[in-house]
Each structure stands twice: as structure tokens, then as C-alpha cells.
Structure 1
Amino acid sequence: MSLLSVLVVLLCVLTLALGAVLVVVVQRLSDARADLAAEQGRSAQLEADLDAALRPRPASTATERAVRRVFETATRVREHGIAGLLERSLEDLTSWAADERTEIVNLAAADGTVTLLFSDIEGSTSLNDKLGDAAWVRLLAAHDQLVRSRVDRYRGQVVKTAGDGFMVAFRDAEAACRAALGIQKDLGRSLDLRLRPVRVRIGIHTGTVVSRDGDYFGRNVAMAARVADKAVGGEVLASSAVLSALDDDAAVMLFKAADVELRGLPGRHDLYRVERRRATL
């Protein structure tokens, strides 16, 4: 057999071998594509199931709403830092609009007035620095629960919150004053060690307000916030409008505390310290 014949035979054998290898490779590629498609389908289904499981549903109970607020606060701290969270001061409550508002029930008294309560934690920035972010978030959650418990007891409505501050609406002045004193009493007697260093300042004012989209605006909102600005930790201050709105047999008493100027509001204003008349709070 000549050399050329041998080369031809070898070339044929090599071609057949390569063909067989190519068939195997193509088959394996086809199998791999099928496995990949199946895996992608399972992955997509898993992702859809996970998304459905994690998609938030509306909170149906007060407990669920409270837990959700804690996690939302923790998320804001993680995303923006505690400094960003604390930028929302008591003053900011007069204009800040929440992403998820609570629908405000009709709280106006017969004369069209609403009593507003503003509160915040005294020295919150330094307290946060002392405790650390994690402990501070837990403290806020305990404080939130305590305040809301008293607000619910006296049928108030939380209009909005910002950091450690609350804006609350009440139908009548006495209910607001009793809720405020109750908050201070609960803080002083709480067995929750997280609340031991907390001192809350509270201001109350009664007047007509502008209601829009579940929020309150107007001069009297600013007035209530300014009254709270003048309070110290553990104190409840009220305006002369609150004094006028109280019945003679109210369970609280108001004592003249100061004659002050309130930033942004003309003239001078009498402020009164709120105290309980009898142990019914």
C-alpha cells in the first residue's frame, strides 16, 4: 500500500472519530441547555415565591403596626444613619408629612377646635450617643409603645411621629392634659430599664386647625410645638387657650409658669404648668 493510500485511510478514520466526538459534544450541549432552562425556571419560581412571602401586607392589629414601626425605624437608621433620623426635630413636626399617614378621625369639638399635644425626648442626641444606635432604637420602640398606650386610653389620635417626637390630636383639652400627665407618670414608674434615662417634654395647645390629607396645619399647630419647646424634661406646659377650654371640675389644674415670647409668633404668651388634681390618671 502506497503512502498516499495510508494517509487517506488515516484521514477517514480521523474524520469519523471527530464526527463521533462532535455528536457527543452537541448532545451534551443540548442536555446542558435543557438543564439550564429548567434551573432558570426553578429559580424564577423560587424568586416569585420569596417575593410573595416577603411582600408586606397591611398590618391588621395594633401589635403588628407597632412591630412594623420598629422595623421601619431600624431600616431608616441602617440606610440613613441615626443622625439623619434625628434631623427630624420637634420643630419639623409642624410641616413634615409622613409617607404612610394614619387617617385622622373627626376629632374637632363642637366649637371646631382641636387640642394638640407635642412631645419629644429631652437631650435625645446626647442620649443616643451615650447608648449607641442599637440600644437607642430599642429605647424608641419602648417609648413609642408607652406614649401610644396613653394616647389610646384617652382617645387621642397620633397625627404623625418624627424620630422621638409625637404630634397627637384630642377632642378636648382635659383628655390631652390627662394623657400627658399619664405619660410622665408611666415613665417615672416604668420597670423597663430602657426607659429609665428618658425625660420627655410636652406642650399642649387648643385651637382651630386646617386639616388636609390626614394632617393638621396652621398657626395653632406651630403654637403647640412652640409651647413644647419651652418645657423641660418631665414637665407638661399648656397655653392659655387650654386653661380656657378646661371645665371647672376638670381632673387637672394649671398653674402660671411663665410669660414668654414664642419664636415666630407675635406678642407674649402665658404658659401654664399642668398638674393633676386627684389620682385618677
Structure 2
Amino acid sequence: MSTAAGSTADGGSTPPVLELRGATARFGSVAALSSVDLALRGGQVTCLLGENGSGKSTLVGVLSGMRRLSEGELLLDGRPARFRSPRQARAAGIATVWQDLAIAPLMSVWRNFFLGAEPTRGPRPLRRLDVARAQQVTTTAMAGVGVVGLDPDQPASALQAGERQSLAIARALHFGARVLVLDEPTAPMTVAQRALVLQSVVAAREAGLAVVFVTHSPQYAHLVGDRFVLLGGGRVAGDLTAEDVDVHDLTRLVAGGDELSRLTEALRSARPGH
């Protein structure tokens, strides 16, 4: 798997856009995350894998401004940051596409694309909605992530599951996101719909975004991932590149349970050059 231009297999040539250092998040006395280090770099897809209860949702919550750290640091462009809400995270350029992606089903696709940021035209105080511009921008942005032949006036409820995810990704790209967090959708998808989501992930990487792709599937992860961070019990049990593991290795790791750390070290030892 080749990495994006400007990055290397280990990502060391590009400073992180967003970084966690020693991140710990507790719910009462239970540590959902414990001393997690994670560096997210532009032009790189970091796949986050792990069993249910491994800490993936908590980590997504921290990155998106939904959860606060109990200990550790969140750094944006190398400077300490604290997001008190998802709105603050979005304002900092962090776009999260949630599992249970919400749309306004009776509103048009272009209305869902802009969601209160619609383009207008004409002098004040007579400015009015520029519908033609909104439709054109929506169609172009959706084509950029692989959804072609779209009628922007159709209700959003007519979109298939993969197209809805692509709509959210296209919107993030258009509005200048720097980090894209894609929480694995729970809606059933066909292979073609999943391929569309993966194509959108690749489009975000090529646009220079730092992408976090949360998934249960090592097969899909290996198709688009540059790095694979495996969580177990709220800790990083493995941090590997696409050159460290093939899809079969990654499948073994994800299924490894308590043996995850040992398997990771064994794979690293077998490939000392990486």
C-alpha cells in the first residue's frame, strides 16, 4: 500500500495535525482509555480497529469534542487544545461522520449538504438564496467523492447508506476540514455502497486530510489504510503500517484478543526493516 505524497511509511516526515499524548479517559473508576498516544497526519489514513469495548468510541468522542480527557494532552498543530463541545472541534477543522448519521430526510440533498451555510447572492439587505449555486456545488462535491449523476433536488431519504456517508464526507471537504473522523456506519451496506465510502476516504486523503477510519473489518481497513492502530482494553495494543502487515496478518491481529500485543511484537520482529 503506497502512502500519500509527502508522507512516509512511518509518517515521521509530516508533523501531526492532531495528536494525543498519554490520553486517559475515565468513567467513574473505569478507564475507557489509558495512556493512549496517537498522531494524525495530513494525507494519511489511520484505521482504528478493535473489539467492542476496546475504547474506539471513547477515542472518537475525545477527538470530536464529545468527551474530555481525565489525563493527558490533545494537541492541535503542536499546541495544547481543549474542545468543550463538538462545535468547537468543528470550528478547529475536525469533522466527524457518526455511526448513526443524521440527515433531514424530507429536505433535498443540497439542503442537507449546506445545513445553514447556504450561498446567497445580491446586495444587502436584499440578499437571497442562490439555489443554482448550491445545487452546482453539491453536485460537484459529490462527484469528487465518487457519487456521480446525482439529482441534488431529490430528498435525502432517497440516498443509499453509502451515499449518505459520502455526502457527509463531501461536506467536510468542501467546508475546509483538516481532520476527518469516520465512525463505522451501522447501516447495512452492499459491497458497492461500501466501496463508495472507501472511495470517499481515499478522496479525503488525497485532499490532504488526516483521516481516522474506525472499522471492525481488517479487509476494508487494509484497502485504504496507511496506519493501523489496534485498541484492546482501552490501550494501544498495536500501531503498524501497511508495510508491516498484509491483510491476513491484520485479520489475525484483530481476532487476537488477549494475544494482540504478542502477535504485534512477533510481526514486528519478523520484519525488522520496518
TM (normalized to structure 2)?
A: 0.25
Q: Which structure carries more helix by proportion?
A: 1
TM (normalized to structure 1)?
A: 0.25
- Larger radius of gyration, structure 1 or 2? 1
- Which structure has more relative contact order (CA 8 Å, sep 6+)? It is 2
